[in-house]
Amino acid sequence: MKQTIRFAFYKSIPVLLGYVFLGFAFGLLLQEAGYSFWWALLSSVIVYAGSIQFVLVDFLSGGTSLPVIAVMTLLINSRHAFYGLSFVEKFRRMKTYPYMVFSLTDETYSLLCSLKTPEGVDEKKAMFFISLFDQLYWIGGSVLGGVLGQLLPFDMTGIDFAMTALFVTIFVDQWREARTHLPAVIGLISSVVCLLIFGGNNFILPSLIITVGLLMALRNRIEGRIEKRPERKAEEA
Amino acid sequence: MTRERALIMILVVAVCTLITRLIPFVLFGGKRKVPKAVEYLGQILPPAIMATLVVYCLKGADLFSASHGIPEFAAVAVTALLHAWKRNVLLSIAAGTLCYMFLVQAVF
């Protein structure tokens, strides 16, 4: 058990850096909008989704109507519906099923789908602790941001790049282990094209729909490639 | 804005976020067997989604501003190359992030 928790903590360190600082930024913004750290705490406990919580700060400072808020939330977070697809079977076999579904953020998803547990580590428990630690980092960061405000003595500008770097390292690992690079290439091209057409705030959903469409259209070809090449052995973390 | 209204807003965002997370599990998570197509997508989607997320993170990089997005792309290159070479997640992330912080604070 100790080994599992230590493993989960080690795996979650990149998210620790990213979440504490992003959460801090969220708490700070919310406080500037006139909401104390209790509101940051509440949002991070029950919403727990980075990008929409930043949009939430806008909602709370303006007069956005509830239906518009609902639609925007559904659209911005629609990508989550695709994350669950990789875990339908796995989560179902876990005691912590409801929490795993609730807490599947971008970053937790990326950690879990690249997770390879060494001997002596309980995979399901490791997955649960990674999810739990990630949310605790996010909650901790956002409360700190609300409490400490602008007291930080250093210039932390750019620290949020840790999140981008996390995605990049996982992308590199997946690229190395993939038996076909088609999905990665399709995802990359589709998102760049959609970004240029739809702009930064609206491109995720069309891009994911096009990606899924293309992957389904090319299914025979991709499955053929997967079967032809033996699985590359995953290296120990 | 009243505090009651703020509370309702947060609840709406929480419920809608939860709905997006529940969709695949409600559709395929019951006793029904997961369709082959969904199994295929679950297996093949992660690299495609990771590529999308990297692009999402870089969406703020303005190619036409003073920095031309150089800090973002330089830091991504440092992270990716270091990771392809050393395969150490924390080292790659630390180096990439420090590189980015240095570029945005001291250079651009």
* Over residues A31-53, mean pLDDT: 90
* Over residues A198-214, mean pLDDT: 86
In chain B, the percentage of residues whose pLDDT exceeds 70 is: 98
Interface contact A96, partner B, CB < 8 A: no
Q: Is the pLDDT of residue A206 over 90?
A: no
Cα A189–Cα A21–Cα A143 angle in degrees, nearest 5: 130
What is the residue whose two structure tokens read 């602008």? A150
Alpha helix (H) residue ranges in chain B: 3-28, 36-57, 70-86, 89-102
The pair of structure tokens assigned to A99 is: 């929490």
Q: Do A171 and B51 touch (CB under 8 A)?
A: yes
Mutate to test the interface with A, among B1, B3, B49 (most CBs of A within 10 A): B49
* Selection from B82, B104, B89 nearest residue A16 by Cα: B89
Q: Which residues of B25-47 are buried (b: 16+ CB within 10 A; e: fewer)?
A: bebbbeeeebeeebbbbbebbbb
- How confident is the model at residue B20, as a pLDDT? 92
The pair of structure tokens assigned to B104 is: 């945005």
| Residues 6 or more apart in contact with residue A52 via CB below 8 angstroms | A72, A73, A76, A77, B13, B17
| Sequence ranges of the domains in chain B | 1-33, 46-108
Note the pLDDT tens digit of each residue in A161-195.
877 887 898 899 889 888 899 999 999 999 999 99
Q: Is the pLDDT of residue A236 over 50?
A: no
Q: Do A48 and B17 touch (CB under 8 A)?
A: yes
Compute the distance between CA of residue A28 and CA of residue A141 in angstroms, rounded to an integer: 10
**Residues of chain B contacting A52 with CB distance shorter than 8 Å:** 13, 17
Mutate to test the interface with A, among B93, B100, B103, B107 (most CBs of A within 10 A): B93
Interface contact A22, partner B, CB < 8 A: no
Rg, chain A, Cα only: 19
For residue B31, name the pLDDT band (cuts at 50, 70, 90).
Answer: low
**For the CA atoms of A215, A221, A223, A229, what is the dihedral angle to 10 degrees?**
-130
Report the residue from A88, A92, A187 with minimal CB separation from B38.
A88
In chain B, the percentage of residues whose pLDDT exceeds 90 is: 43
- How confident is the model at residue A230, as a pLDDT? 58
Contact (CB, 8 A) for A37 and A146: yes
Please indicate whether residue A87 or residue A156 has the higher confidence score (pLDDT).
Answer: A87
Note the pLDDT tens digit of each residue in A88-139.
888 988 999 999 999 999 889 989 988 989 988 999 999 999 999 999 999 9
- How confident is the model at residue A71, as a pLDDT? 80
Residue of B nearest to A50 (CA): B17
Mean pLDDT score across all residues of chain A: 86
